[in-house]
């Protein structure tokens, strides 16, 4: 029972990290039809910004400095996403394949740039000491970092859903996901919604990057690539354009991954892929998919 | 023109003292020829048929690993092993492609990515104990002909790779110019029209998928002989993304564009390292010199510029220039 609980919480924690990567991907694809291969770069840039705050700016890690790292990671990654949208994506208006291709180029350049500056070895991101502790629930001993991932992802999930639900720009985004041409035909400026979605997606990925550095014990230019593939899988399983779908799929995949890995090491990755194929072949739009383009 | 270039490349290693008479460059070029051929098989899917697959590396790696396993574990003659690998890979492609083709567009890309990742996991984690996991799978040199073994004989590997490239080139030519090839192009341009004309789109897409996978398997088997061992990195999604870059760099739908793109990409990504070890870059501050020493930085930048400003890549630019030149008088 204690092992079961440990695996379950770890799976949900992993799912929380997947969600941070996938939510932005899902919104960007849902609204703009752009398959964003540079999303892994947002994550990496966020992680490096967080590392800079936690080592150079505040060398003594406390709870507050870690919060600052996450915030910095989110903001820098969000601004980079905004910059990329303005400089590159906007110029290829409605050329979806080219937009996807150009993001492949951006991800190569960012990885090489960071690798050239900082090297490809993983660097340790210092955390407050209490991150290393564990809590006891019943007879299960669970490392405390899992709960941090879950809490941060839950806060961002609520924030994103609130923006989508209660603000004007959120309304435009929701309408745009369902029918973009109709929204522009009504004379509403969709461009602002594009930028918002890129900033939000970059922010979530950047925060995720800082947390993933804690989870995988290091910051490296290569971290974005491997998490991006999981991000894609979560988005496709959850349904393009649906934040709630991403959240559900992230949990499903995180938990299944952990349980499969517990029985056979390495089986988790394989099972995740099988889930993806099964979902797509039975319901090609994903669990809660709305987009049909 | 293409024939002349091929003949020159075939003679150079044997024609006295030139850069290509050295084993190091011969090896680099042999790998580059194979990537040129592989890029062409990807172009058949992406350029000619309009199928954006992210799982092409699976069939390349399948050709490589099945050949190695048949030679090492089942003591099969290497030529027979290659035939077996092509047969197995075609079956695999028919199964996975058949499932993936129930979807289309970006979803198709994602399903193929998933199958490709599954293949990578099987190879890297060594399920079943055949693939030797992350360490890679060396092919038993005793079972290969003597003239493919050893540094002195690199020139024969070079010729083998060039021969496979020429073979794939003619095969792709034959396929794309055949009546089925015309249906592939029609599918890319207007799928609805094809089905209205009474042809089954999915059957032709599957044909294109299986043909390009079978050719990728042959190239994978050749890569096994050229590099001496299989490695999980050949099964990774990075390879498929590299293929996409190669095709865009050289320009799709022209055949020679994809081949040129593949060769250039492969040579640049291995040789840019050597160039950067020269003095010129070391004198630059690390701020600039560090990224420039990474081939992916330069290649990525070139790639972005091509997509944004020169769609059609090298061959596209060539045909545009020729078109302008031919119409100058008018």
| DSSP assignments along B298-311, one per residue | HHHHHHHHHHHH-T
pTM of the entire predicted model = 0.87
Q: What is the dihedral of CA A254, A255, A261, A267, to 10 degrees?
A: -70
pLDDT tens, N- to C-terminus, chain B (330 residues): 888 888 888 888 887 777 777 788 888 999 999 999 999 999 999 999 999 899 999 999 999 999 999 999 998 999 999 999 999 999 999 999 998 898 888 778 888 988 898 888 888 888 777 888 888 888 888 888 888 887 778 889 999 999 999 999 999 999 999 999 999 989 888 888 888 888 889 999 999 999 999 999 999 999 999 998 899 999 988 899 899 999 999 999 999 999 999 999 999 888 776 665 555 555 666 667 667 777 788 888 988 999 888 888 889 889 988 988 988 766
Query: What count of Cα atoms within 13 Å lies in the side-chain half-sphere of residue B60?
Result: 28
**For B245-265, what is each residue's pLDDT tens digit?**
999 999 999 999 999 999 999
Paired sense of beta strands B137-138 and B229-230, if any: antiparallel
Interface test with A, best of B97, B308, B310, B313 (most A CBs within 10 A): B308
Q: How far apart are CA A236 and CA A239, in angstroms?
A: 5
Torsion sign, CA atoms B77, B78, B84, B87: negative
Concatenating the DSSP letter of every residue in A34-76 gives ---TTHHHHHHHHHHHHHHIIIII--S--HHHHHHHHHHHHHH
Q: How far apart are CA B207 and CA B203, in angstroms?
A: 6
**Searching chain A, which residue's CA lies closest to the CA of residue B244?**
A101
Contact A277 B111 (CB under 8 A): yes
Is there a contact between A82 and A206 (Cβ–Cβ < 8 Å)? no
Chain B positions touching A278 (Cβ under 8 A) are none
> What is the CATH class of B23-326?
mainly alpha
CB nearest to B296's CB, from A29, A108, A266? A108
**For B61-120, what is each residue's pLDDT tens digit?**
999 999 999 999 998 999 999 999 999 999 999 999 998 898 888 778 888 988 898 888
Q: Where in chain B are the domains?
A: 23-326
**Searching chain A, which residue's CA lies closest to the CA of residue B298?**
A109
A266: distance to nearest CA of chain B, Å? 6
Q: Does B149 touch chain A (CB under 8 A)?
A: no
Q: How far apart are CA A99 and CA A89, in angstroms?
A: 6
| Domains of chain A with CATH codes | 2-282 (1.10.3470)
Give contacts of B 11-40 with A, CB under 8 A.
none
Q: Does B118 touch chain A (CB under 8 A)?
A: yes
Would you tell me how many other CB atoms lie within 10 Å of the CB of residue B41? Answer: 27
When pLDDT is cut at 50, 70 and 90, the band that residue A106 belongs to is very high
E strand or H helix at A135, and its extent?
Answer: strand A134-137
Is there a contact between A238 and A245 (Cβ–Cβ < 8 Å)? yes
């Amino acid at each position: 029972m204690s092992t079961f609980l440990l695996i379950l919480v770890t799976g949900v924690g992993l799912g929380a990290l997947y969600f941070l990567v996938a939510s932005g991907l899902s919104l960007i694809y849902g609204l703009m039809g752009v398959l964003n291969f540079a999303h892994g770069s947002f994550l990496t840039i966020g992680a490096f910004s967080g590392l800079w705050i936690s080592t150079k700016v505040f060398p003594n890690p406390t709870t507050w400095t870690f919060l600052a790292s996450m915030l910095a990671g989110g903001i820098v990654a969000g601004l980079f996403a905004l910059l990329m949208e303005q400089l590159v994506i906007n110029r290829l208006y409605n050329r979806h394949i080219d937009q996807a291709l150009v993001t492949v180029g951006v991800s190569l350049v960012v990885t090489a740039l960071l690798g050239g500056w900082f090297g490809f070895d993983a660097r340790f991101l210092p955390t407050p000491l209490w991150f290393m502790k564990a809590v006891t629930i019943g007879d299960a001993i669970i490392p405390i970092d899992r709960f941090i991932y879950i809490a941060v992802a839950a806060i961002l999930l609520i924030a994103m859903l609130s923006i989508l639900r209660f603000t004007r720009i959120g309304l435009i985004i929701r309408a745009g996901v369902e029918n973009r041409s109709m929204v522009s035909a009504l004379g509403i400026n969709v461009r602002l919604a594009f930028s918002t979605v890129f900033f939000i997606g970059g922010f979530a990925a950047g925060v995720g990057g800082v947390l993933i550095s804690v989870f995988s014990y290091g910051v490296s230019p290569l971290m974005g690539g491997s998490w991006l593939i999981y991000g894609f899988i979560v988005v496709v399983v959850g349904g393009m354009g649906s934040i709630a779908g991403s959240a559900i799929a992230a949990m499903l995949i995180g938990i299944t991954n952990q349980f499969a890995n517990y029985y056979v090491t390495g089986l988790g990755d394989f099972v995740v892929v099988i889930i993806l194929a099964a979902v797509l072949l039975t319901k090609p739009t994903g669990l809660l998919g709305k987009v049909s383009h | 023109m293409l024939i002349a270039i091929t003949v020159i490349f075939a003679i150079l290693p044997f024609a006295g003292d030139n850069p290509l008479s050295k084993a190091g460059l011969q090896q680099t070029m042999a790998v580059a020829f194979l990537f040129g051929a592989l890029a062409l098989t990807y172009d058949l899917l992406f350029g000619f048929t309009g199928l954006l697959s992210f799982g092409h590396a699976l069939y390349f790696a399948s050709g490589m690993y099945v050949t190695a396993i048949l030679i090492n574990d089942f003591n099969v003659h290497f030529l027979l092993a290659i035939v077996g690998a092509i047969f197995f890979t075609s079956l695999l492609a028919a199964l996975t492609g058949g499932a993936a083709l129930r979807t289309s567009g970006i979803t198709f890309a994602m399903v193929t990515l998933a199958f490709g990742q599954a293949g990578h996991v099987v190879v890297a984690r060594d399920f079943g104990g055949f693939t030797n996991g992350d360490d890679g799978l060396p092919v038993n040199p005793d079972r290969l002909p003597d003239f493919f073994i050893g540094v002195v004989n690199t020139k024969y590997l070079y010729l083998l790779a060039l021969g496979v490239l020429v073979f794939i080139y003619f095969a792709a030519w034959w396929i794309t110019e055949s009546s089925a090839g015309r249906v592939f192009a029609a599918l890319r341009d207007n799928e609805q029209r094809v089905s209205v004309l009474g042809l089954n789109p999915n059957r032709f897409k599957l044909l294109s998928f299986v043909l390009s996978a079978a050719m990728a398997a042959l190239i994978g088997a050749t890569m096994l002989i050229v590099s001496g061992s299989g490695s999980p990195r050949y099964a990774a999604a990075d390879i498929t993304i590299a293929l996409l870059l190669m095709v865009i760099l050289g320009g799709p739908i022209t055949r020679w564009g994809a081949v040129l793109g593949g060769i250039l990409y492969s040579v640049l990504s291995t040789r840019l390292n050597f160039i950067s070890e020269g003095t010129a870059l070391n004198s630059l501050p690390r701020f600039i010199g560090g990224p420039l020493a990474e081939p992916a930085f330069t290649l990525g930048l070139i790639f972005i510029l091509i997509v944004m400003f020169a769609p059609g890549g090298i061959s596209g630019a060539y045909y545009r220039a020729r078109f302008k030149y031919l119409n100058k008088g008018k």
